[in-house]
Amino acid sequence: MENKKVTIAGAGLVGSLLACYMAKKGHDVKVYERRPDMRKTTIDGGRSINLALSNRGWKALEGVGVADEVRKMAIPMYGRVMHSREGELTNQPYGLNGEAIYSVSRGGLNALLMDEAEKHTNVSIDFDQQCMRVNLETAEASFKSYSTKEITKVEGDLLFGTDGAFSAVRSSMVKTDRFNYSQQYIEHGYKELSIPANADGTHKMEKEALHIWPRGSYMLIALPNPDGSFTCTLFFANEGETSFETVNTLEKARAFFKEHFADALELMANFDEEWENNPVSSLVIIRCFPWSKNGKVALLGDASHAIVPFYGQGMNSGFEDCTVLEEIMSQHGDDWDAILKEFETQRKPDADAIADLAMRNFVEMRDLTGNADFLLRKKIEAKFSRNNPGKWMPLYSMVTFSDIRYSDALKEGQRQDRIMEEVMAMPDIHQNWEDPKVEAKILELLGKY
């Protein structure tokens, strides 16, 4: 493969990982990041400080040889712990065979990937650089230094936009003919809170689990951190009867938490300060196409397909973009027009599918995880899958513990929904769910659908 000059706009998680992949291929890589170097300053802007890493992400990290380093900073979460209003706990394992998703620090992982990229002599990263304009014909980009105001024109053979949901590279593409673009803000926003560690550095709740307080139209979640704390996120309507709009004072917030999340509030030593100071952030879904122009410019990650966080797949799907692109590069040599066309054609259906799946999982997490029918369905599916491993993989496992294409997982999940609707309608299913007739019914319906 011919050596190329590659420009990457955005040194976030996906941009830093992409730089590693491009460097391994022998390309000269220049990365430009709008923010300061996070390794030298603390910036999170109200964004979640930890993320859920699963199979697709691990595969991408293994591809550049950093998975073992990341494992040292990751905490396995083997299931959900559901918290009722009364403080009762219910455990729901994620996988059938002890599989886990992993809580990792966003900043820690990003810093590690930047360090890894800079180990390559053919990679440089410049910070405080705002992307001002892009030439889609030549892959030239202009960046403005926040400190000196100096404009740098960067010429290259390829330009990748990994600059997030509000991508400057994408904004240049939006202005071109036949470029489809939509952004959808969902009605919910989120606020970050925390549960600090015990005095001895241990966790105040079960460490190896994702904690959820499902409350119908809203929910609270908590992910563990290595320092013994939990990062908590309240997902709450922005407006309406029960929302950030109405719970608009510290006094109201305390009363609300005391009624709906009492066991969590007791552990939130910094609740008052965090409620007052941490911002309410929005949640947006971005869809666009095409993702590339002229065989020279392409979008990856949130720049092309930002999703809501409810399946824990935002980072994982962005990382998978890198592995899919690398596989296609290996097939097409120097034909970048073919590489980028095949990449966008292959990934677009999967990006749309995980966007839909993430919203579906939001409804599941906030509305259904305490529902008796839902819990029984999960038990029936798990039992059938254990007994018939080649015939049934639960949707969550397909998305989280495999690299089955998201679009294929969505189709199979829809087929499973039709089957389970009939199974759950069987007489006295709550009493008779372990009856062999239930397994026979599923086998019959697999043939029907």
Residue 361's nearest CA partner among 288, 309, 317 is: 309
pLDDT at residue 243 in the model? 97
Q: Average the pLDDT over 369-377 and give the result.
A: 81
DSSP H/E element including 141: strand 140-145
Amino acid at 69: E
What H or E segment, with its residue span, contains residue 374? Answer: helix 372-387
| Residues in the chain, overall count | 449
Let me know: does 156 contact 139? Beta carbons within 8 Å. yes
Q: Which runs of consecutive H residues, i.e. helices, occur in 36-185?
A: 55-63, 67-71, 106-118, 168-174
Quickly list H helices, 144-265: 168-174, 250-260, 262-265
CA distances from 80 to 88, 211, 370 (A): 13, 6, 11
Report the C-alpha gap between 8 and 38 in whole angstroms: 17
**In Å, how far from its chain's centre is CA 429?**
35
Q: How far apart are CA 80 and CA 394, in angstroms?
A: 16
Question: What is the average pLDDT across 128-155?
Answer: 97
- Distance separating alpha carbons of residues 444 and 426, to the nearest angstrom: 14
Which of these ranges, 82-86, 314-318, 358-362, 408-412, has the smallest mean pLDDT?
358-362
Q: Is 163 helix (H, G, I), strand (E, B) or coil?
A: coil
pLDDT at 42: 65
Output the pLDDT for position 225: 92
What CA–CA distance (Å, rounded) separates 187 from 244?
A: 11
pLDDT at 441 over 90: yes
What type of residue is 366? Answer: R
Cα distance between residue 42 and residue 40, in whole Å? 7
- What mean pLDDT do residues 315-330 have? 97
Task: Flag whether pLDDT at 46 surpasses 50.
Answer: no
Closest CA to 210 of 99, 78, 88, 87: 78
Q: In this model, does residue 191 exceed pLDDT 70?
A: yes
Q: What is the pLDDT of residues 283-319, one digit of tens each?
A: 999 999 999 999 999 999 999 999 999 999 999 999 9
How large is the greatest C-alpha to C-alpha distance in the chain, in angstroms? Answer: 74
Confidence check: pLDDT of 149 > 90: yes
210/102 Cα distance (integer angstroms):
9
Q: Residue 164, Cα to own-chain centre: how many angstroms?
A: 12
**pLDDT confidence of 96, banded at 50, 70, 90?**
confident
**Quick check: 98 pLDDT over 90?**
no
Where do we find the tokens 């509305």? 367
* Strand ranges across the sheet with 158-161: 123-126, 28-32, 5-9, 158-161, 297-299, 292-293
How far, in Å, are 46, 397, 423 from residue 286 at the CA level? 20, 25, 36
The per-residue pLDDT of the chain, averaged, comes to: 94
Beta strands in 261-373 (DSSP E): 280-289, 292-293, 297-299
Identify the pLDDT of residue 45. 43
